[in-house]
Structure 1
Amino acid sequence: MLLLEAEIYLHKPSDSASALKNDLETRHIIRPSINFGNDQLFSGDIWALHQEKMFYRGVNYTVLIKMPTIESEAFESIGRFVRPGNSFRIQTGLRVIGTGTIKDYIYEE
């Protein structure tokens, strides 16, 4: 499992035509795809780190991203991209809805 601490930004409509139509309530599971830059998509659950009730588009948030499907073979493929300071895209399919920057990470087999 890969656990990321990251700063994320969800695009607002004036940033991108692919922005979400609504802000996101954190009480619901938020499970987009994470693209570390190698065009391989991995699902991850985004959790509010500071008890936010909403993720508003156009605002930066520090979050935890839990990626339980990342096991040894997958981590070998993306490990070089998973470094503090590296950026990633937040996607739903091919639609890029936001970006993020890794602050810290833990990988456990």
Structure 2
Amino acid sequence: MIKLTFVQADGARFEAEASLGTSLMQAAVNAAVDAIAAECGGACACGTCHCVLPQEWFERVAAPEADEVDMLEFVIDPQPTSRLSCQVLVTEEMQGMEINVPDTQV
């Protein structure tokens, strides 16, 4: 299992464990991260799983596909390292990763 930490804008930290190949969104839902609504269930259709990765982690994950880039245009206050957590799959290299959940998600 890969250990991840979701950090909400209010400072609340949620420790999560995820299997390889699981999406960050599913890991957040399993860990009861309040601010990850995941309304579309991971279909890249709503933006309610918006997260912001620290630059060093953003550079380590696969680049977003065109449909994710399009959907990120509709989230509130997108950042250069914004991602939809439903589109980021957990790999071994993510051990210890911290994922920031913007205050616009709360």
Q: Normalising by the residue count of structure 2, what TM-score does the alignment of the two structures yield?
A: 0.28
Structure with the higher strand share, 1 or 2: 1
Structure with the higher helix share, 1 or 2: 2
Quick check: which has more Rg, 1 or 2? 1
